[in-house]
Structures are given as structure tokens and as C-alpha cells.
Structure 1
Amino acid sequence: MTTFGITKKSFQLLDKLAANNNREWYHEHKEELREQLIDPFADILEAVSGKLKNAKRPFSGSKQTMFRLYRDVRFAKDKRPYKEHIGGLLTPSGSKKDDAAILYAHLANNGGFIAAGFYRWETKALNQLRERMIEDAKTFRTITRKISKAGYEFSEIEPLKSMPRGYAPYADHEHARFLRMRSLVVSQNLSKEAWIDGTVVKELVKLHRSTIDLMLFGLEAIGQRS
């Protein structure tokens, strides 16, 4: 198994960042953060990209698809200047702007998680996806069963309490639960060891393989299949 430079010290550094979330500490440890967290994380994204280059729909990521540590606190009650985790995407185009369908990795001091799917789509795109769930219920059923069989579950991220506008007649539809969702995301928690020993790469590849039909289903619904 290939390792990428994430070590126990990397997690200790995240703990220290959380305890000293200020500009003075950050600038004193900026190089250390780069060496122990940012660069190794980018290497992981690139390793996954290489594994997926011959996939049904390749996804790729790099340092350019990582999220910066700086927080925008202009309108936030929480004025901490830095995030206390490392996050990054893999997308069909390899661009962070291409966020219709994503594979996401999140490194935190407790290990973190990986996720795949559609996150907070605009209402127009969501409704296009909902229409396809209804029109092609059999295919969507096959997709969700495949994901379940692989051992994953859909995350309940801010689901609507009632059916979305225009979909009340489908309250008893077999996919009513998914029709109420504003994000269709499959996620898996990861241990610290998965990052340290490099098995995070294998887990991301497995998650992509298990969810790619879902992501293609959604991209086709909004006219972005090719």
C-alpha cells in the first residue's frame, strides 16, 4: 500500500490549528501545514485520478480542486479565520467549478469522511432529477439497490419535511424519500489509519465505482451526460 505523507503528526497539527485558530499561529506554521497536510492531500487526489482514468466516467482532482483553509467570515457569526479540516474534490472535468457531480474527500482530526453525489443543486436542476426519478423509477431503483448492496447509505442532508412544490401527488411514490432530498449524497466515515496507510485511495475508488451510475443518471437528467 502506498503512503502519501499523512502521519500521526498531521492529525496533531490539525488539533493544534483548532486550539490556535489565529493568523499569528497560522503564519508561523504555514510551511508545516503545507508539508504535512496540503501537499499529501493533493497527492492522494492525484493518485485517485490515476486509478479512475479508465473508469466509465473518469473523475480527477489535484491541488487546484482543493478548498483553501481561509474562511470567509464577513457575514459569519463564527469569526475563526481558518477551517480546521482539509477538503477537496474530484470532478468529471478536473475543475473545482465543475461541481454538478462530485467525489469529495474530507480530512479532519477524527479521521474525516469521503462522499459522492449531488450537493445542494439549484431547484431547476433538482426538479429535472426528480422528474427522471419518476419517469424512470425502475432504473433509479436499480441504482439505489446497487449502492445499498455495496454497503453505503444516503446521507440525510437537510431533507424537506414535506414533498417539494408540485410533487405532492407523489407522496406515496416508491422514491418519495429521494424526491424530498435537496442533496443526494452517499458518504462513508474514515479512520485516521485509512489516511496514514493510504487506503483512502482504495476507498475513494470503490465509492466512485459504486456511485457512478447515480451520478450519470443525474447528469443525464440535467443534460450533462457527455
Structure 2
Amino acid sequence: MPRWTAMKSKFGFTDRSFQLLEELHANNNREWFQPHKQEIGELLLDPFADLLEVTTAKLKDARRPMIGSKQTIFRLNRDVRFSKDKRPYKEHVSGLLTPSGSKKDDSALLYAHLAADGGFIASGFYKMETKVLNLFRDRIIEDAKLFRTITRKLLKAGYEFEPFEPLKSMPRGYSEYADHEHAAYLKLKSYVVTKPQTREVWIDGSIVKRLVALHKASGDLYQFGMEAMGTSMS
């Protein structure tokens, strides 16, 4: 029987789960990590995989199903080869749900980020290739009214667009749209909305309801983006 069934959707996150993340922040080194590796697995990684699977089941009959599992959780080990920051481990747990169930899926995504302060959830299109990104930008210009409606609904529902290092000036080929009503959006490299979460929603299991609600709220954004790219999620 899956762990999440036995625990009635509480997954296994506890106060100790967040304490582990706090300790990892204070002791980001192999000497601390190795003795705590099993506990991290039991109180962070395993419950996270379970919540992705439960969310997947909840979205099974959605118009645009998304799939997540243990395979769509990001590794805790950091790649420090080309980074000035030599901390060996990430100090959060994160993972995806995508239409294909693969982390390599470059279409729409649903994202969960568990951190010591509670973290956040996110949804949308992240760091698209320039060619694809420009298709999205073109659609914003061509369908400005629809994009305005989509963004206003998301903002009203409490979801904020995360800029993720926006361009300081208009992107190449779009300088004539510097005064466009969506000029700030045209400077983005990602179209992702986020919402902070508390520790309690992970512990009581309501994080799944929040992910499902975000997925539903993002439906028009997904559709807008996929149509811009000439693909479909349905």
C-alpha cells in the first residue's frame, strides 16, 4: 500500500522535515549530509515523490493532465564546476509535473519548491529557447486583449508573475513595442506565476489542493502558450 494512502494524504512531512532543511543551510557539507542522508530520504524526498504522484492522480482527468513522480524530482547535489558558490547541496527540495512526465519536457510545467520557510508553487513556461520565446512574444502582441484577461485573472487569484532576470531593454526585433501595454512581459524569458506556501500545507497535505488549484487557474495561460507554439496539451 502506498505510504500516502496509509497516512491519509499527510505524506510524511513533519516539523523535523523543515528542521533538516534549516540544519542543511547551517551545515552545507558532506560531513553533515552523509549521516543525515537516510533521514532526508524518509522525511523529504520520499514524501515529495508521494505528493507528486497524488497530484498526478488528481489531474488524471483534467483537460491537460500533468505527470510527476520520483523521476521528476531534482537532485540535491549541486553542479559546482562553473559556479563561484561551492556549496555541494541545494537547500530545498523541488520537482515538476509536466505533460509527458519528464523533466526534459520543454512545454508547460507545474512546479513545487519545498524550503525551510515553506517554499512556493509555480506554473507556466520556464526559460524557453529564443525561437519558442519569440513565438510567445508574437502572440502577446497579436492577442493583447486575451493576454490582458489571462494575466488579470491570475493576479486576481493571488498568483504573481516571477520575472526570473528579465531583459533590461526590449528584446532584439521588438524595439518598436517599447510602449506596448505588455512591454514588461515582452522582456521576460519565462512566463511563470508563483505563490508562496507555508510549512503547514506540506504537513497537512493540502499542498496537493493548492497545486491542483494552480493548475486549474493556469489553464488559459497553458492554452495561450501552447497555441503560440503551434502545439496542444489536450
Instruction: Normalising by structure 1, report the TM-score.
Output: 0.95
Partner of 1:69: 76
- SS across alignment from 1:58: coil
How far is 1:18 from its partner?
A: 1.7
1:130-159 CA distance string (max 9 Å, x none): 111111222222211221232222122211
How far is 1:47 from its partner?
A: 1.0
Partner of 2:145: 138
Structure 2 matches for 1:9-28, cutoff 5 A? 9-28=16-35
Which of the residues 221, 227, 233 maps onto 1:214? Answer: 221
Alpha-carbon separation, structure 1, partners of 2:58 and 2:129: 31
How far is 1:174 from its partner?
A: 2.0
Which of 29-38 and 142-151 deviates more?
142-151
- SS across alignment from 1:105: strand
1:43-81 CA distance string (max 9 Å, x none): 111111111111111111011000011111111111111
Partner of 2:179: 172
Partner of 1:117: 124
Alpha-carbon separation, structure 1, partners of 2:167 and 2:129: 14
Q: Does 1:56 align with 2:53?
A: no
Partner of 1:30: 37
Give the gaps of 5 or more residues in structure 1: none
Which of the residues 162, 166, 186 maps onto 2:169? Answer: 162
- SS across alignment from 1:147: helix
Q: Contact 2:123/2:218 (CA < 8 Å) preserved in 1?
A: yes
Query: Which consecutive segments of 4 or more residues in structure 1 shift more than 6 A?
Result: none
Amino acid at match of 1:191: T
Which of 89-98 and 15-24 deviates more?
15-24
Kindly tell me the number of residue pairs found equivalent between the two proteins: 226
Instruction: Normalising by structure 2, report the TM-score.
Output: 0.92
Which of the residues 174, 179, 184 maps onto 2:191? Answer: 184
Alpha-carbon separation, structure 2, partners of 1:54 and 1:147: 22
Alpha-carbon separation, structure 1, partners of 2:104 and 2:231: 14
Partner of 2:200: 193
How far is 1:179 from its partner?
A: 0.9
- SS across alignment from 1:55: coil
Give the gaps of 5 or more residues in structure 2: 1-7
Q: Contact 2:51/2:208 (CA < 8 Å) preserved in 1?
A: yes
Q: Contact 2:72/2:103 (CA < 8 Å) preserved in 1?
A: yes
Amino acid at match of 2:198: S
- SS across alignment from 1:93: coil
Partner of 2:160: 153
